[in-house]
A and B are shown apart, each in its own frame.
Chain A
Amino acid sequence: MEELLNNPWIVIPLRIIIVVGFVLAAVPVLTWVERRVLALMQIRKGPNRVGPAGLLQPVADGIKLFFKEDVLPERVDRFIYFLAPAGFLIPVLCAPAVIPWGPDDRLTPIADVNIGILFLLAMTSLTVYGIVLAGWSSNNKYSLLGGLRASAQTISYELAMGLSIISVVLLTGSLSMRDMVLNQQGSLGLLNWHVFRFFPLGLIATGIFLIAMLAETNRAPFDLPEAETELIAGYHTEYSSMKFAMFFMGEYASMVTISAVMVTLFFGGWLSPLPFAPFTWIPGPLWFLMKLGVFIYFFIWVRATLPRLRYDMLMKLGWLRLLPTALVNLFLVAIVLWWQK
């Protein structure tokens, strides 16, 4: 076993299978969870016919998508139309490569590179291409408007997100995701996490990241690129069959990825919230998955609770509220760090 784990030809493919496999396997489960939780919150029943408690519904949906006719609209830019779904899904699946899931570094981060968080930002900033190109190549005005909205939204919220991440980088003094988790280790347990660092400052950075991550994944209340009441379905209006499924998978996979980033940056990664006996028996990856579950539940909860923002409100929130707050917060974090030295 030890020997196998030290052989790079075995361990690197194994890491890729673990990470990509988990993210892809989480997608069908999440579609079921989302529909059941939304139903629960809206006093409905949700999917409950296919299998026990509707658990086989994702399988049925998958089979349906496979056998659907793949409709190609007239006068689309064929090459880009086919490229766009892959251009959306591939960066989303690359992004979790730098996230450590547990204390054992042989299995989880596929590569613990010294530019970890920058790699992640690079990959998430690329997902916008898939959306914009899908909107443009479909030869449909609703799709185009959805694509344009998505690109404007992603650029606007990426700034605030980046600034809240920089405060974590300042606290850690490193860009490696692993160092960021280890920096939150301490005898105080969850009080050592970056959320509760320098009391209101860490919390503000977390709040900014939380809002920005909803906007980055195009989830409610920031789902303007696919607002069905005004844009039919936005950028994926003209996509059907498995090409639509790739956008769908990409959206859920990016939810998993960005929640994992949230857990790693601000909520201690695989660390136990209470650093004494019965809690430390639970292995690190399990803590990580539990925290991940909380944030994915939060995504669904927000979708069931908040109405969609108007477009001008979205831009005002991004540029006039979040960005200045993030800047001032970063400045204050830097001052406190300097004063401590």
Chain B
Amino acid sequence: MFGQILFITMALVIVVTSIGVVAVRNPVRSALNLVANFFALAVLYLFLYAQFVAAVQIIVYAGAIMVLFLFTIMLLNLGSPSELSERGDLKRPVTWGLALLFVIVLAGGIFVRLGEAQPTADDLGTVQMVGKFLFTDWVYPFELTSILLLIAIVGAIVMAKRRL
């Protein structure tokens, strides 16, 4: 009972803040909506016994990435925070097309029924289990991701140094 109330509240928060991210004019408020969204998502991860993922969601996304986002937004337009309205060209039709595609996929998933989701073990989300899977079954993708991140870091330095 309590769990259901909490789940519905969090789901509503996710929907409202997701709309807020794209609908709000002020970029700082938009970023704040995204932070609230990440929070509610972390609570949903806790429902799935994925404590580690929930904590990482808050530390990495809410605590680090969104702070950098805010930092950048504040540095970019210090004077007038509501100057972020690019209009025209292809963006709008493409957005509507993608949204329509998403609705079709979603409706297909609901009406066609892809089959029941398999329940996972209760301890799958703990640090021990995540670590075990990361370093056994998924070790190659994991290491490849680290190389990808390294390339991104090197790229960022190259781009920044060009101007110096």
Contacts and interface: CB of A to CB of B under 8 A. Distances in A.
B33 to A, nearest CB: 12
Nearest to B71: A151
B28 A126 contact: no
Interface in B15-57: 26, 28-29, 32, 35, 51-52, 54-56
A148 B63 contact: no
A327 interface: no
B6 interface: no
A118 B71 contact: no
B58 A122 contact: yes
A113 B51 CA distance: 9
Contacts of A79: 29
Interface in A112-126: 113-115, 118-119, 121-122, 125-126
Interface band, chain A? 20 to 34
B67 interface: yes
A258 interface: no
A155 B52 contact: no
Given A125-B64, A148-B74, A80 B58 contact: no
Contacts of A147: 74
Contacts, number: 70
Contacts of A152: 71
Contacts of A80: 28-29, 32
Contacts of B164: none
A129 interface: yes
Interface string B69-97: 01100110010010000000000000000
B102 to A, nearest CB: 30
B55 A136 contact: no
A151 B81 CA distance: 19
Contact of B51 (A77, A114, A148, A155): A114
B65 to A, nearest CB: 10
A318 to B, nearest CB: 15
A132 B67 contact: yes
A115 B52 contact: yes
Given A115-B51, A118-B52, A125 B71 contact: no
Contact of B71 (A77, A121, A126, A148): A148
Given A113-B51, A129-B67, A155-B67, A136 B28 contact: yes
A148 B68 CA distance: 10
B45 to A, nearest CB: 11
A144 interface: yes
A205 interface: no
Interface in A97-156: 113-115, 118-119, 121-122, 125-126, 128-129, 132-133, 136, 144, 147-148, 151-152, 154-155
Contact of A119 (B55, B62, B126): B55
A152 B63 CA distance: 12
B58 A132 contact: no
A136 B81 CA distance: 10
B59 interface: yes
Contacts of B67: 125, 128-129, 132, 151, 154-155
B127 interface: yes
Given A115-B127, A148-B75, A122 B70 contact: no
Interface of A: 77, 79-80, 113-115, 118-119, 121-122, 125-126, 128-129, 132-133, 136, 144, 147-148, 151-152, 154-155, 158, 175
23 contacts: A77-B81, A80-B28, A114-B126, A114-B127, A118-B52, A118-B55, A122-B58, A122-B62, A122-B63, A125-B58, A125-B59, A125-B64, A126-B58, A126-B63, A128-B63, A129-B67, A129-B70, A132-B74, A136-B74, A151-B71, A155-B68, A158-B63, A158-B64
Given A122-B58, A122-B62, A155-B67, 13 more contacts: A115-B52, A115-B54, A121-B59, A121-B63, A125-B67, A126-B63, A129-B67, A129-B70, A132-B70, A144-B74, A155-B64, A158-B64, A175-B127
6 closest cross-chain pairs (CB), A and B: A125-B63, A118-B55, A122-B58, A115-B51, A115-B55, A122-B59
Interface of B: 26, 28-29, 32, 35, 51-52, 54-56, 58-59, 62-64, 67-68, 70-71, 74-75, 78, 81, 126-127
